[in-house]
Every structure is written in structure tokens, then in C-alpha cells.
Amino acid sequence: MSRLHIVANRLPYSIVKQEDGFQLIESVGGLATGMKSVYTEYGGKWIGWSGHNSDDLTYEEASEIDDLLEEKGCATVPLSDSDILEYYEGFSNKTIWPLFHYFTQYVDYAPENWETFKRVNQRFADRVLDVCDDGDTVWVHDYQLLLVPEMIKSKKPGVTVGFFLHIPFPSYEVFRILPWRMELINGMLGADLLGFHIYDYERHFLSCVRRLFGHEIALNQIHVDERIVKVDAYPMGIDYDKFSNASTAVMQKTVHERSELHKELEKYFLMSPDRRLVLSIDRLDYSKGIPQRLKSFGKFLDKHPEFRGSVTLIMLAVPSRGHVEEYQILKREVDELVGKINGEYGSVNYTPVWYFYRALPFENLVELYNSCDVALITPLRDGMNLVAKEYVASRNTQTGVVVLSEMAGVSKEMGEAITINPINEDEIAEALHRALTMPKQEQQERMKHLQNRIKRYSIFKWASDFVNDLEKVKLIQKAYLAKKISKTVYKEIDTKYTKAKKRAIFLDYDGTLTSFHKDPQEAYPNEELFDILEALIADEKNTVTIISGRDKETLEKWFADIPINLICEHGVWLRKLGEDWQTLTQVNNDWMPMIRPVLERFVDRTPGSFIEEKNYSLVWHYRKAEPEQSEIRAKELTDELLGLVGSLHLEIMEGSKVIEVKNGGINKGIAANQFIQNEKYDFLTAIGDDWTDEYMFKELPKETITIKVGMNRTAAAYKLESVEAVRGFLKKLGEI
């Protein structure tokens, strides 16, 4: 693989000023560990902010820092005081963070923060563009850089871009609140691969794309202009061995070698064999549910007085975003709650909550994981939550219980934890009781499963999976492009066209010659389309046929003024030039009274959907209905119809946002073949966009130039990406 660069708000080093100059300290965070393995292996750069305010640095100091980082493969993006205030603390942490964690009441909509966010994202993108070449791969991380993928892609389309979001992606109902919602999605769609921790975030994102942009989406692939964007879930892992080994090392230390904290913990247990520790670790953030957790612990002590004196909650709250008002309020609330619980339930030799408001060194962290019987992890929302995984990895004795919020992404991977609703304080109190009284054997059984799973999908596996998928996306795009009509392919088609003496051109209508409209009656042909068709018809070597699922009355009305052949209702009706309408197959409508009530029931329950009755078919349209609901309804309806149609010799056709029930033995392929029989055409082409057109692609003679509009799997030989592309193609053929 070519070079792979990482882009994140922060570089994987922090910088401290010493007497003899600046010194780099390697970050030990999960992301830094995982990514270092990736960008060093692929010889790329890590692009990000050094963590220093550029206003506080002299030119010489800034250059010294840049040089030090450069040696480590890092390229710095400078941030000034106002950038930090408006881009980082402002739009990132006061707008996106609360919104994406469903704290809509905290969202700040300051337009100046948005402006700075855009400007700083552009600065990051420019720095990336400086260091990368066409053919390189770039992996952008997290919510501070949502606009960067598009900013890279629009300038260097030859660069493959991946993006991973570390926080939740909210549901459409929440996301839509944001005035800059279109811009953010558009920024993300610059990526070739978009990763989320869990499927829920992925489906929220896809739903926003569908509703805000209407792009075509097939499974987890979005068709954006001429590209395919793949979306997938990759639950981020940890460096499992690092925690497991550190935990073993901690246990093997002699008394003298042990840290002060470790000694304190041992003393605590020595006081009584019944003593238990419950652990709580997070950044002090309102998304983490810390006040609710404390209150639940108070409730637990209240309801189970037998545990007073023997169960202590160790609460490590790492200071975070202290400039932001909501965090200051939270800090006061937590301080008060700790005081209240300790005041109410404490005694001379019992402190219910040990509260640390600071970051501890890694060794202490592992000691805590090692010594605590229960990990109490109760975020109100959390993208993943790595603490839960780190606790599991550190439990070499295989004892210990995780009490876990169902709102954390990690809960999807931890079925063996006791899951709780983080708002429900009584439930948490009871879960805590259950955890503290769980038999050892049960703890070990659960822990064994958790460890096996967390170990397997480590941070390294996570990173390599994402990188491998980025490579695969290139192949998907290549396969898509392979069927695209390139200049050379077009030339070949044009040569055949020019040489031909008698040509048959079959054109589907909706989604091929004209875009879909919410109201199908609005899809009538415009002037440009008439010009294109007239130019083709003017060449007397051409026999042009519109072949559509629409009813004959509509098409007859719309195309009354031009001499064109029409095949309607997927092949039931044919009107050749100068002739009357004829049916291509013998059909009847006796079945309609049986099927109609079924469709009507679905109309009643699916607002926006409606029934169209054609001469020989019934159609349930759901283009105007709520997209996700109607997809489900469409599946239900198909299932129900399948049970009915067999004995009636009917067929169900699932088109684009329609389900059509019609007589069996009729399709566009049969109709088109009947149309050309007894004639000697030396140029045949068929263009269509949906499932019903596949019959033409499969059944017309093999020399037919078959063209599919859109990205879905097809039997056609070629693809065009859109209605505009079809019109462009026909204009060239018709020489207009």
C-alpha cells in the first residue's frame, strides 16, 4: 500500500518546556497507540495540533517545536488563542459534542464559532494536501475535523480518505436541529470510507444522508456524484496485552516497589476481609452520568445498610474542558454530592467515596483496575467507552463485574456485563448489589467470555480492519468505474452507432430519462428531454422506444407531440408508430379486487403512500412516505403478497420505491424482444435504472449495448451515474 497519513486534532506527543528547550512526551492514549502502529508502518505523517497556543510562542520556539515533531513524522497545524476558543472549545466542544451526545439544551449556536471551525478545518486540510500525493491514503479522526474529508477530496480526488467518528452520531431528529447540518454531512461525504463504533450510529448517519440529500444508498454504500462512499461499524478496541501485562507486573511487585496508592489499597483490604471497592473512571464530562452514579451509590448504601462501612466507591474524575460553563457547574455538583454522601454515610474509619479530581499515572490506573471488585460505568451517552474494556483486560484473576450503561457503545460487545439505564438510579443501586453479591464462579464465567472477545478485537485489529477496508473500497470503486462509460468505451459505441444502418434504442423513463419526483405526476418531460428525443428520432435509421412501467394514458399524453414508440406497464401495451395500441400478452384483471384491499391496508398505515391502478397492474408507491418506515412496510407487504399471488399467476415487482403486482409472464425483456423480432437491427441499446430493466439487460440479444443508471449490481454491460449522464450520452449520440 502507498503512504498512509493520520489526521487528528492532537498529535501523539505533548510538549513540555524544560530549561534546555522543549521536550516531547509520547502520548500513551489508546488512539495514539493504535495509530502509531499504522502510520509508521506505512511511512506516512501524523498531522495535528501540538497542544500549544501559537500566540504564546515566539517564531523560534514554534520552529523548534515543529522541528522536533517533524523528526517524529509529525506535521503541525498551529492554533491561536481565538482558534482554540472558537474552533476547539467553541464549535467542537460546545456545539457538536453536546448535540451528538443528545444534550441539546447545552448547544451553543454562535455563528462566529462555525466560521472559525470552517477556517481551521481548511487549515488542517491544507496541511494534509501539503504532505500527501495522489495515490496516498489519509485517515481523519473525529468530530473536530468533520469538514476535512471533503476539503481533501475536492482538491485531490486521487487521495483515498477514511474518516472515523469516536463519538455517537445522533438520530436525524437531533441532528436536524443544527443550522449547519448540510455542510457537516457534505464534509463527511468527502471520505471514501466512514467508520463509526456501532451500527446504531451508522444507521443514524445513513438516515440523515437519505433525508437531507436523497443520495442513492444500497446497503451501506452511498452513491455520491461519481463516487461510492462506504459506511461501516468498527468497535474500537484497546491494547489488551498492555493492560494485562501491566496488571501482572503490578501484582508481582515487592512491597517496597509498590506505589503509595497501591499500599493504601492494600491497607484498606487488610482492615476487613469483607471490604469491597467499586471503581468509577472518566473525564469529568456531563455525558458520563457522574451525578446520577453518585446518587445511585447513595441509594445503594441507603437500601443496603449492611454494606455501609465495607463498600467504597473510588471515583477518578479527570479534569476536562474547565473553561466551559457546563463543566464548571458539573464540577460543583459532583463536589457537593461527594460531600453529601460522605457526610451522610461516612464515619471515622469509613469514607464511602474516595474522590480523585486529577489524572493518575498509567501504573496507578492499572492498580485501580486490579483492585476494584466492580467497575461502575454509567454514561448517559458514550461513543464507545474504553475504560470498560481496560478494566476487563486488567482482571487477570478473571473475577470482577462490570455494571454498564446501555447508552455506551461498548455495551453492544459486553452482553456479560450487568446493563442498566443510566438515568434509573434504583436500577443502578440494585445492579450494584447484584454485582457485589455475585458468586465468584459466575463472575469468572462472565469475565472469561468478555476477555476472549475484547482480546480478539484489539486496537491493532481495529486499525488494520479499517485500513484494509479502505483498500477494499478502492476496489469497489474500481469495479464501479470499470463499467462506467469511459471516453474510449464511448468511442467504440459511437463507431458502432455510426456504422449501423438500423438501430433500436430502448429507453426506460423514470430514473433514466428524468429524475424521480416525490409526486410521480410531476415527472413529465421537459424541453431538454424533448430536444434529445427529437434529435434521435430525426435520424431515420433510429427506432426509439420508451419502455416504462407507467400506464399508457400518461405516456400517450406526455408524448403526444413526438413520433415515438411506446411500451407501457412493463410490456403489457405496445404502440408502434402510426399504429394503435395493442396488448403483447393476453391478460386479465380478475385478481384486482382481491389484491387491492391488501394494498389499501398498507396505505392506511403508511402516511404518504398511495395506490396507482394501471390497466393491468396495481402499484403501491411509497416515494412520498417516511423512508425508513416505508422500507419496512415494503418488506411486510412483499411477504404478504407472496402468500397470495402464487395461485393467481401474478408477479410482484419491486421497483424504485414502488411495489407492483401484475400478471405473470410479462416483462420488459419479453416485450423488447417481441418488438425487435422480424426486424434486422445492427445496433441495439437499452438503458434503464431499476430492477425491472434487468429483464431487458438479460433477455435482449447479447450484442445489445446495455446500460444501467446508478450503482446497484446489474447484468448490464455498462453504467452511467445519473439522469444527467444519460442525457449527456444521448445528446452526444444525437449530435446536439
Phi, psi of 623 (to 5 degrees): -60, -35
Kind and range of the H or E run holding 155 = helix 148-155
Closest separation between CB of residue 15 and ligand GDG, Å?
18
Edge-first strand order for the sheet with 74-76 is 74-76, 46-49, 4-10, 137-141, 160-164, 193-196, 227-233, 221-224, 216-218
Contact 394, 281 (CB under 8 A): no
- Per-residue binding string, ligand GDG, 337-376, x by CB under 6 A, is ----------------------xx-x--x-----------
Residue list 64-93, contact with ligand GDG (CB under 6 A): none
311-340 binders of ligand GDG (CB under 6 A): 316, 318
What's the rounded Cα separation, in Å, for the pair 680 and 386?
69
- Cα–Cα dist 313/707, whole Å: 66
Which residue, 90 or 195, has its beta carbon nearer to ligand GDG? 195
Residue nearer to ligand GDG on the CB measure, 120 or 279:
279
In the region spanning residues 259 to 288, those forming contacts with ligand GDG, defined by CB under 6 A, are: 281, 283
Tell me which stretch binds ligand GDG (CB under 6 A): 127-135, 323-331, 377-385, 582-590: 377-385
Work out which of 384, 401, 473, 720 binds ligand GDG, going by CB under 6 A. Answer: 384
**Is 136 or 469 the residue whose CB approaches ligand GDG more closely?**
469
Residue 513, helix vs strand vs coil:
coil
Phi, psi of 562 (to 5 degrees): -125, 145
Name the residue among 380, 387, 464, 461 with its Cα closest to residue 422.
380
Partners of 227 in the β-ladder: 224
What CA–CA distance (Å, rounded) separates 140 from 48? Answer: 10
The minimum distance between CB 142 and ligand GDG, in angstroms, equals: 8
Shortest separation between residue 114's beta carbon and ligand GDG, angstroms: 22
Cell of 78: 498551529
Q: Which CB sits closer to ligand GDG, 101 or 570?
A: 101
Cell of 567: 411500451
Range in contact with ligand GDG (rule: CB under 6 A) among 36-44, 382-390, 462-470, 673-681:
382-390
Residue matched to cell numbers 461519481: 226
Burial (0-12, 13-18, 19+ Cβ within 10 Å), 439: exposed
**How many residues appear in the chain?**
736
Smallest gap, in angstroms, from Cβ of residue 467 to ligand GDG? Answer: 16
Q: Strand 683-688 vs strand 4-10: parallel, antiparallel, or unpaired?
A: unpaired
| Residue 489 in contact with ligand GDG, rule: CB under 6 A | no
Closest Cα to residue 373, out of 273, 238, 275, 504?
A: 275
Stretch 386-405 residues interacting with ligand GDG (CB under 6 A): 386-387, 390
Closest separation in Å from C-beta 661 to ligand GDG = 47
- The cell for 106 is 447545552
Closest CA to 541 of 430, 730, 680, 678: 680
Contacting residue, 383, 422, 549, 734, with ligand GDG by CB under 6 A: 383
Compute CA distances 372 → 88, 255, 401, 435, whole Å.
Answer: 35, 19, 9, 12
Least spacing, CB of residue 358 vs ligand GDG, in Å: 7
Site for ligand GDG in 189-248 (CB under 6 A): 236
Q: Minimum CB separation from ligand GDG for residue 196, in Å?
A: 10
Decide whether 385 or 411 has the Cβ nearer to ligand GDG. Answer: 385
Please report, as residue ranges, which positions from 127 to 166 form the binding site for ligand GDG (by CB under 6 A). Answer: 166
Cα dist from 143 to 94, 98, 168, 371, 430, whole Å: 12, 11, 10, 35, 36
Q: Which window, 86-94, 383-391, 608-616, 657-665, contacts ligand GDG (CB under 6 A)?
A: 383-391
Of 322-330, 378-386, 436-444, 585-593, the segment contacting ligand GDG by CB under 6 A is: 378-386
Nearer to ligand GDG, 117 or 369 (CB): 369
Could you say whether residue 719 binds ligand GDG (CB under 6 A)?
no
Cβ of residue 161: shortest distance to ligand GDG, in angstroms? 19
Residue 44 · residue 136 · CB < 8 Å = yes
Interatomic CA distance for residues 654 and 430, integer angstroms: 50
Nearer to ligand GDG, 236 or 429 (CB): 236
- Cβ proximity to ligand GDG, 390 vs 413, nearer residue: 390
- In DSSP notation, 579-623 reads S-EEESS----TTHHHHHHHHHHHHHHSTT-EEEE-SSEEEEE-T
Residue 551 annotated to the active site: no
Contact between residue 144 and residue 95 where contact means Cβ atoms under 8 Å apart: no
CB of 38 to ligand GDG, least distance (A): 15
- Measured from the CB atom, is 248 or 589 closer to ligand GDG? 248
CB of 283 to ligand GDG, least distance (A): 5
Closer residue to ligand GDG (CB): 365 or 372: 365
Is 401 in contact with 384 (CB distance < 8 Å)?
A: no
Of these residues, 136, 192, 373, 508, which one is catalytic? 508
Q: Shortest approach of ligand GDG to residue 362 CB, angstroms? A: 5
Greatest CA separation for the chain: 104
Degrees, nearest 5: CA angle 555-571-622: 65
Nearer to ligand GDG, 14 or 629 (CB): 14
- Cβ of residue 33: shortest distance to ligand GDG, in angstroms? 9
Query: Taking the CB of residue 537, how many other CB atoms lie within 10 A of it?
Result: 18
Question: Is there binding between residue 30 and ligand GDG (CB under 6 A)?
Answer: yes
Binding segment toward ligand GDG, per CB under 6 A, in 112-120, 380-388, 449-457, 519-527: 380-388
- The alpha carbon of 506 is separated from its chain's Cα centroid by a whole number of angstroms, namely 38
* Closer residue to ligand GDG in complex, CB, 365/637: 365
Binding residues for ligand GDG, rule CB under 6 A, total 19
Binding site for ligand GDG (CB under 6 A): 30, 166-167, 236, 281, 283, 316, 318, 359-360, 362, 365, 382-387, 390
Catalytic residues: 508
